[in-house]
Structure 1
Amino acid sequence: MRAWQLAILRFAVTLDNADRLAILAIAHQIDGLAPKRDGQPDFNFFRRTSAELCAAILRPGELTATLLRQYLVRIDDDRLRRAFAAAVEVSQPKVSSVSKPIKRDDESWRGLALRGNDLR
């Protein structure tokens, strides 16, 4: 998976046809790992996605920017995500905070006796 992502980054930087072919070769290998029916591979996610990403990188536009942002969300390595976003000149999606603010009340101490040196 990492080799595929790095190959896509390399293509985004170089726009070289040899790098595009390397992406497709890696995608073919990954798709080939899925079980086959009747001798033919059913799974073609990586080949299809690779072709779409390469086309989006070569012909940037508003519609392709959405595809590139969707791919960015799937990249789990932060450095790789930032490098790819810079290479294709697409802003990274904003990550919203999942955690809730800390509740700062003293309800947890209700009912407990105060100590002599407590100033509450």
Structure 2
Amino acid sequence: MNVKTEISDWHSRTVRAWLLALLRFTTTLDADDKLAVFAAAAEIDRLGARHSGPCGFRFFHRTSVEVCAAVENPRQAGSIAVLRRHLERIKDERIKRAFVAVLELEEATTKPKIRSIKARSRDDLWKGLRC
């Protein structure tokens, strides 16, 4: 295996971990999960900074801030656009569908339906799972 392939594989796994951390935060709205999102973003940005020069690469941090804010305040102006933009960037269809389901977005319509995440009950979160 050559170095380029190893870096590409590492980058793909790290981006996937970041997306899954974002999905977890979107589901739980837990502060620890939000910190995990920013930790994953920092790791990816650190690798990008090696190639982008002294200004640094902060795409994943900036995107994490935007997406987390949109998830926490879905009715705020621009939140739907941020969430849609985030969904468009996701290449993994399973992760994309999971985000759509958790956010209760309707993919096919131009006017998305989104309910407040905080308003939903989490009482049946583990319903149907074997103990």
Aligned match for 1:27, one of 36, 41, 49: 41
Gaps of 5+ in 1: 95-120
Matches within 5 A, 1:1-120: 1-34=15-48, 35=50, 37-38=53-54, 42-61=56-75, 62-92=77-107
State the Cα distance separating 1:13 from its structure 2 match. Answer: 0.4
- Give the aligned length: 92
Give 2:73's aligned amino acid: R
d(CA) in 2 for partners of 1:22, 1:92: 27
Q: Deviations over 1:35-64 (max 9, x none)?
A: 2645xx510000010011000000002520
d(CA) in 2 for partners of 1:73, 1:93: 13
d(CA) in 2 for partners of 1:92, 1:2: 21
d(CA) in 1 for partners of 2:91, 2:67: 17
Residue pair 1:3, 1:26 contacting (<8 A) in 2 also: yes
- What fraction of aligned residue pairs are identical, expressed as a percent? 46
- Over aligned residues, Cα RMSD in angstroms? 1.6
Gaps of 5+ in 2: 1-14, 110-131
User: Any idea what SS the aligned residue of 1:33 has?
Assistant: helix
TM-score (norm 1): 0.70
TM-score (norm 2): 0.65
d(CA) in 1 for partners of 2:108, 2:42: 29
Give 2:90's aligned amino acid: I
Give 1:71's aligned amino acid: H
Higher CA-based Rg: 1
Moved more, 3-12 or 84-93: 84-93
Question: Which structure features the higher share of helix residues?
Answer: 2
Q: Whose RCO is larger (CA < 8 A, sep 6+)?
A: 1
Give 2:67's aligned amino acid: L
State the Cα distance separating 1:16 from its structure 2 match. Answer: 0.3
4+ residue runs of structure 1 moved beyond 4 angstroms?
Answer: none
Residue pair 1:69, 1:93 contacting (<8 A) in 2 also: no
